[in-house]
Amino acid sequence: MMSTTFDALIIGAGQAGPSLAARFSAAGQRVAVVERKHVGGTCVNTGCMPTKTLVASAYAAHVARRADDYGVTLGGTIGVDMKKIWSRKQAVTMNARTGLESWLGGMAGCTLVRGHARFTAQHEIEVDGRRLSAPKIFLNVGGRAFVPDVPGLAEVDYLTNTSIVELDRLPRHLLIVGGSYIALEFAQMYRRFGSEVTVIERGPRLAPREDADISAAIADILMREGITIEFAATNLSVARDGNGVAVTITRGGAPAARISGSHLLMAVGRIPNTDDLGLDAAGVQTDPRGYVMVDDQLRTNVEGIWALGDCNGKGAFTHTSYNDYEIVAANIFDGDKRRVSDRISAYALYIDPPLGRIGMTEDEVRRSGRKALIGRRPMTRVGRAVEKGETLGFMKVIVDADTRAILGAVILGVGGDEVIHGMLDNMYAKAPSSIVQRAVHIHPTVSELVPTMLGEMQPLV
């Protein structure tokens, strides 16, 4: 079988892939992008874009139900049309996907290959009977929902984050197994659409990577909206229950409890799409969880093979995937030795109000043993939040006591996902917190209270 040779092969057309292809195209090189399903990857098709579009519809319904709080009179009951909501979501996704396909199709020297790629040698892959080779190969294969081995699960219909965004009808009662970001966004979203929602979490609190005060505040926000949360739920089993599904759990030494619903969403984590690439044939090493092992410049152990995005375990976010592209492109094309270790942890949780998180948590700072200062402010003391009638949550920042460098911050409150970037930029600039503290921000905004919070810091004990 003859092999077609390119200058570069990119396996996966997710966030990093098309942009990297564009750099090879601009350099006059021949590049093939291999995609077995949808161009755009998780973000465009089943992640950020469709889910945040659905979140926006849910927020509109929530505000409409609160109209009387603002002195606005609406006639009749506030309801939702799930088919219209689904159609709006689909239009956003398809516009993004077709835009990326058009971009790839218009790149000089770029070939989009449809099909599943598998290595046959270190620098050769096979795609549905067609062999392709290149001295540079980039793995950008993303991840998928992890489905645990739960007794009875194989005998029932269940949803994952991929299939639930295709649902165009309203569940009567949505059961969600999992208590982290995907689970919580869908929980609030569907509660606002009108479903009864029960979250089943095996641990003692939600969002366990966060500090305990953040986890408690998130739980309070969700329970205020009528979401039921079952903590410390172990020994799960699943069974059919009429036309629906039932989850049986135990809590400590209590008798088993049976929770019935119409739909079940499994949202307990993600795994990389690396198990069916034939990585052994290329000699590419993975860790025990299946993530491709890379160095600080995203190179694998095999010369000429890189791994970008969710499959390398360096940050399962769209923004970290795009930054992976920037790091690789800078090293290959620009002589700029950018590194993964230069990146500061930053992410958001898109419940309402949203959470924006940067740097170290309070628990991490305590474990480090360094002297630190902490500032806190409830959103009830943020004028802009009061004016908008959205006062749930709080903000806090932790600063090194000696250098005054910002170590980490979190804003769980209105605008938190945007406001947090002012402190993030300060961290990248390696500037002391006094730079933000002395800045004059616009009034009335949420951002204007960040300098105030920095001016009220106390020793972290």
Model confidence over 239-274: pLDDT tens digits? 999 999 999 999 887 889 999 999 999 999 999 999
pLDDT score for 253: 76
Fold of 3-144+271-342: FAD/NAD(P)-binding domain (3.50.50)
3-144+271-342 against 153-268: fold identical: yes
- The per-residue pLDDT for range 299-351, each reduced to its tens digit, is 999 999 999 999 999 998 999 999 999 999 999 999 999 999 999 999 999 99
What's residue 384's pLDDT?
A: 97
Average pLDDT, the chain: 97
The pLDDT of residue 187: 98
3-class SS at 156? coil
Rounded to an integer, what distance in angstroms lies between the CA atom of residue 241 and that of residue 255? Answer: 20
Length of the chain: 461
Contact 284, 270 (CB under 8 A): no
Residue 3 has pLDDT above 90, yes or no: no
pTM of the model: 0.95
Average pLDDT over residues 274-295: 97
pLDDT (tens digit per residue) in 147-157? 999 999 999 99
pLDDT-derived band of residue 418, with 50, 70 and 90 as boundaries? very high
Q: How far apart are CA 263 and CA 164, in angstroms?
A: 10
**pLDDT for res 316:** 87
Per-residue pLDDT, averaged over 71-100, amounts to: 96
Q: Is the pLDDT of residue 134 over 90?
A: yes
Q: Give, for 406, the enclosing helix (H) or strand (E).
A: strand 406-412
- The per-residue pLDDT for 1 is 60
CA-based nearest residue to 224, from 43, 353, 358: 353
> In CATH terms, is domain 153-268 a member of 3.50.50.60?
yes
pLDDT of 81: 97
Q: Where are the beta strands (DSSP E) in 159-256?
A: 173-177, 196-200, 228-230, 234-241, 244-250
What average pLDDT does range 392-417 have in this prediction?
98
Mean pLDDT, residues 161-165: 96
pLDDT of 415 reads 97
pLDDT value of position 252: 80
Catalytic site positions:
443
Domain boundaries, given as residue ranges, for the chain: 3-144+271-342, 153-268, 347-459
- Classify domain 347-459 by CATH architecture: 2-Layer Sandwich (3.30)
- For 191-202, the pLDDT digits (tens) are 999 999 999 999
Region of 142 please: left (phi>0), alpha (psi -120 to 50) or beta: left
Residue 319 has which token pair? 């923004």
Give the pLDDT confidence of 213-244 residue by residue, as tens digits. 999 999 999 999 999 999 999 999 999 999 99
